[in-house]
Structure 1
């Protein structure tokens, strides 16, 4: 997230990391990176850690997030070099309850994320294809959650009902409400097709594999040792096409064994889950921060598919 959270400060983050992972931790610096979780750089005793605060729901419970990060650690232990896995706390768990979410840490990586242009270059695409192929061949870790549809058959009706009256929750509320209301028919059409494809995917459950879920360029880090995939919060057992959106856009289709129907499923999975999250975001109190404006841009981007 671009804006530091109001409900926890850097000192509390450093203290939690010192208690559960790195006793020497003294310095915590907020990182305005990503969108969805809060991040810090925490250092002490010559060690640097990357710290994440995940807020639970709608994607996770405390138990499912712990199982997900434990699964990522199991994949790394099994020899998947591209997995930047969370580090266990003193208790052996990979997440710690911070009262306002779940804390986790990973090693600090000396490297950088590629730009969208760099991520589309043939050599880099080949590295990502190879990393995902290894992931998809891996034995599923014990307790790995299974992908499930993010919205149900009544989603479009819920959107219509929640946007029927003016919103007074913040400075961007009415603009977001109007945009959602204007796309109701498209949302209903997308939802119907999405659930049809989800049924098809479940009928092929025996072919599901471990998937990252969001292996786009922002979740890639290029280090001296090669490509590393970060942010394993979305790890799940699913059709392999869940990981292919950016690769297919980069022209890697001939290198990927993929089912167009499953590609369509996960394009809709992303779009509808984003719309659902933005609906909740702007119906709730907000103040017009940089995160709020970025979220509104994201909402328009997802809804614009109605005009394609």
Structure 2
């Protein structure tokens, strides 16, 4: 009999993950069905750092169980890069891995499946306005909400600027397969290989969608020093980033982090941790300042 061990990583409340011997089992409503199709394609194309989903007995990449997608991938016995950090050589390896993903030709079936924008971003402006209204007009339910409201309202001008910028769609550009959330929390480190996991938010977008994570403001989830950043781009290769597209994607991500961490600080779980993360996102070295600079 196979024993299931629940794994607790990341902030995705729409997914549950277990380890079952040599496999990772994921039960999720997050993202789109493009995720397993994308990882299967990339693995078949020879991208070693992307684990391929295991097909079902009927040949499918997932099965529908109680309204959620149940999928299976090989268990990667590695450590999270967000916890261990990356060496200079590993940063270069990670740059090469992401460049390999971006360089893949996109087949017609994936072009039809992959969304052009992260679906999460579409609901962020309305949620940000809802939270602003609550914090400005309602009596806090407890001390933590009071601190949360104070934190949010102190940065209301910056948050309003993010909402405005996120409403301005990016200048069209060459579109590639993007992970859309390639921070170090989604990177596993083994002695011989780095793996990029959790492709639920995969999109067909310009490279700026992914490379924003390598340009500062992500704390321990991105390059910690200019040397780390240089090592990443040594592996990725020369590239010219479009400033307009970069502004859009960084603003959209900063708004997402601000709004979703604030919402979870209200509703739980781990409310105290969520408030602390939000304060970091809004802090002087956080992503909001980076996005608006």
How do 1:238-249 and structure 2 match up within 5 A?
238-249=205-216
- 1:180 and 2:159 correspond: no
Unpaired runs of at least 5, structure 1: 1-24
Aligned counterpart for 2:93 among listed residues 127, 136, 147: 127
> Over aligned residues, Cα RMSD in angstroms?
2.8
Aligned CA distance change for structure 1 residues 279 and 91 (closer, same or farther; 3 Å): farther
Aligned CA distance change for structure 1 residues 78 and 89 (closer, same or farther; 3 Å): same
- 1:32 and 2:11 correspond: no
Please say if residues 262 and 275 of structure 2, whose CA atoms lie closer than 8 Å, have aligned partners that are also in contact: no
- 1:49 and 2:15 correspond: no
* Alpha-carbon separation, structure 1, partners of 2:273 and 2:70: 24
How do 1:107-126 and structure 2 match up within 5 A?
107-114=74-81, 118-119=85-86, 121-126=87-92
Q: Quote the residue 2:138 is aligned against.
A: 165
Aligned residue pairs, count: 262
TM-superposed CA distance for 1:81, in Å, is 1.5
TM-superposed CA distance for 1:107, in Å, is 0.2
Aligned counterpart for 1:145 among listed residues 112, 115, 127: 115
Q: Quote the residue 1:219 is aligned against.
A: 186
- What's the TM-score once normalised by structure 2's chain length? 0.76
Please say if residues 165 and 252 of structure 2, whose CA atoms lie closer than 8 Å, have aligned partners that are also in contact: no
How far does the alpha carbon of each residue in 1:36-79 deviate from its partner, in whole angstroms, 9 at most, with x for none? 14321112xxxx211223344xxx3xxx2x22211211121122
Please say if residues 156 and 184 of structure 1, whose CA atoms lie closer than 8 Å, have aligned partners that are also in contact: no
* Alpha-carbon separation, structure 1, partners of 2:55 and 2:90: 31
Aligned CA distance change for structure 1 residues 281 and 102 (closer, same or farther; 3 Å): farther
Please say if residues 208 and 245 of structure 2, whose CA atoms lie closer than 8 Å, have aligned partners that are also in contact: yes
Aligned CA distance change for structure 1 residues 224 and 303 (closer, same or farther; 3 Å): closer
* Alpha-carbon separation, structure 2, partners of 1:303 and 1:230: 27
Unpaired runs of at least 5, structure 2: 217-227
Q: Quote the residue 1:274 is aligned against.
A: 257
Aligned counterpart for 2:50 among listed residues 62, 69, 83: 83
Q: Quote the residue 1:68 is aligned against.
A: 35
TM-superposed CA distance for 1:173, in Å, is 3.2
